[in-house]
Structure 1
Amino acid sequence: MIQQDHLQIFDLTLTVRSPLFIGDGRMYTKAEYLYCTRNGRASLLDEQKFFTFLTDRGLIDRYIQFMLCNQSNLRDFLTEDCGVSDADLNALTRYTIEAGDAVTNPPKNLYTFQRDAHDRAYIPGSSLKGALRTVWLLQAVRADQSTGHSLASDDNAAFPEEQYVNQLHLRLQKDGSIASDAVNSLFRGVQVSDSKPIPNERMALCGKFDVLPDGSFPKNSKKGIPLFRECAIPGAAVRFKLTLDQSVLKGRITKESLIDAIQQFDTYYKQTYRARFKAPSGAVNLPQQPHLILGGGSGFFAKSLAYPYLGEEKGLRWTAEQMTQMFSNHKHQDDVKPYGISPHTMKYARFRGQFYPYGYCEVSIL
């Protein structure tokens, strides 16, 4: 730790234990990326260079035909049908990573990881801060001894987190009460940098699977949902700077309280949610250390505080109602019975032939 007056600056490291997906909102189809079964690598193209190349080579019409046909491998089409050399393809490539499941399955839609202007994968500080905020709030909710909590049953229902975090007296209402806004948020005193770049050697494509409480896959989904995600893989160490401004926090959020909040969240998550699910065949046994769970695929339970706020029974019924309204075709009316948990599926990634729950990371703060 570095102490600079009221600022405490820490090195925070996420050690990825299961595939971690922080999406950039982009999706690529079979016609927009390459994968090579020979070396097990997938490549993202520079779109501008690629279309200039197709135009210069007179391949636009053939490329349109490829997009409309059942042929699924763009790399095979370019090399075998169009005679494009490996050297030409390399010149059109932005970056290359491990293809993962794409080697043994036909290419599907590919969702990419957050990258900077130099195409280096990284995790925005806002993603990590959001996860830290969630675990800290769970700790605060569980310490709250008040009873009778409730949430509206409509689509606009929101967890009232402001009553826990908007505790500063920097701005008051006309009646003298604390204004419930970001000006008074404790988390003004928590700053998280964007991570250092994640090497492409620590990135790979992973499939996505839904698993039911009995460990089985929903009907017709044993081969997975038709998409791949670009993920940071198990073993990747992702580094950040965490700054705690104690002139704002005044000891209410510390390194020790954040570590304790992660431990409490991990225990609560295991006992209340994960214990309801049997692991599918081929699932890994993750280390027993406390985990922070974040990113795409980590699921509703890792991002919502409905269960601890309402209590398990009331939280189950409220969540089932919300899920039924939002996803009417997914049979969430059965979440209370027979499943006893809502949502009634857990998201798994498949990487190198094994199944992992998404987004498990160990945290070190030094």
Structure 2
Amino acid sequence: MRGEIAATRDGRIRGLRVKVLADHGAFNGTAQPTKFPAGFFHVFTGSYDIEAAHCAVTGVYTNKAPGGVAYACSFRITEAAYLVERMIDVLAAELDLDPAELRLRNLLRPEQFPYASATGWEYDSGDYPRALRKAMDIAGYDGLRAEQAERRRAGSGPLMGVGISFFTEAVGAGPRKHMDILGLGMADGAELRVHPTGKAVLRISVQTQGQGHETTFAQIVAHELGIPVDDVEVVHGDTDQTPFGLGTYGSRSTPVSGAAAAVVARKVRERARIVAGAMLEASPEDLDWTPGRWSVRGDPSAGATLQEIAMAAHGSVELPEGVEGHLDATTVYNPPNLTYPFGAYIAVVDVDPGTGKDLAIP
């Protein structure tokens, strides 16, 4: 990675230009290498308001293992974050500015969201300056810099380094209008069935690899339906029973399949409202939802729990014409965008000036 950064003397970053040599390994292991030859590297403008940016990528094959999702599903965003943060530090040294102050001058502000980056990403939300200041407060940043300056004046003892970094990730692949694998869009399916007892079975299209999908997805459904988490069974990894999806990688399971679980649970909840209306002899539009229960607006005592509604949906309650029984629903969720988590890190390192050894390492 080779980068150039343009900025004013007062530290306002104006542009970035980057050239990347992307090692694909012996064969492609990434989604759509023709469209993303360096993964999602073009998020390299990072967390900053930069009006102009350009990235040229040369993809090459080597005798190494394929890159891409094999390493922490990073899609090369790790490298992109490293590049821009290293360039910020180099610029801070050139301008004789504190690295934190330079970042604060250029971080995106809350009122700028949703923000369209120069390379085509649309960041959804965030309060970047607050996150950085919070990290500085936790670390005692001003005190660390003062201690560092004092040690340098004294000219003895361990050398002290203070590192600072800010990142914006791009996760939740992805919107089918932008991303596909061999022509298959990345929308994910979910199916939800509520038994007469009120217990639910959720079938998802992603496979857990130890992330705890069984817990996370059950919590999502339980939250949406107002039922105990233990009453939700999550089925995954069995293609005879689960809907089609594009799999678990790239930090996409919860943003995409998790959202699908929420959407399908809301469909069940709306279906339960129709059944509750028939049970309570009220218009569904006149019912209010509280977690786990539909009740008549203005008369909370007249209501039915989801468990009672589930039993009625399988029973003899006369439903409106055209409305089938049972509380089952399916969905295919196509996310409108990626999601963009962010954060700040501050690290302190003491180094023995004689040996160069990090004193934190035993």
Report the TM-score range of the alignment, normalised by the length of the smaller protein: under 0.3
Q: TM-score, normalised by structure 2?
A: 0.21
TM-score when scaled to structure 1? Answer: 0.21
Q: Bigger relative contact order, structure 1 or 2, given CA contacts below 8 A and separation 6+? A: 1
